[in-house]
Amino acid sequence: MIEEQGEDAECAAWIYTKEDIHMKDENGEFDYDNVVEDPALIARIFDDVGQIDYIYTVIQECVDEVAEEQSCLTSKSWCDSSLSVH
């Protein structure tokens, strides 16, 4: 990807580690000092999260929405025609 888009290409990434997995306390509140240490549970959590297509769908919808908004700002005629009710 670096060869195709260059070293200075814009990108976004979300990185989660075991430090982001918190247990709840007896009151049902997240205990941010109590992280999961069980390697099997950590692996299962991240495997499950990686299998959820919804995350990727929401990210793509956000990218599409921002790109469309930018197109509207730079090309009012395109925006007017794409937003017209038929």
- pTM for this entry: 0.56
Q: Report the C-alpha gap between 46 and 44 in whole angstroms.
A: 6
Please list, residue by residue across 16-54, b when 16 or more beta carbons sit within 10 angstroms of its beta carbon and e when fewer do. Answer: eebeebeeeeeeeeeeeeeeeeeeeeeeebeeeeeeeee
- Tokens representing 85? 């009710």
Instruction: Please tell me the predicted confidence (pLDDT) of residue 82.
Output: 57
Domain ranges of the chain: 10-83
Long-range contact set of residues 62-67: C-beta below 8 Å, sequence gap at least 24: none
Could you list the pLDDT tens digit for every one of the 86 residues in the chain? 889 999 999 888 888 899 999 889 999 999 998 888 999 999 999 999 889 889 889 999 999 999 999 888 887 655 655 555 44
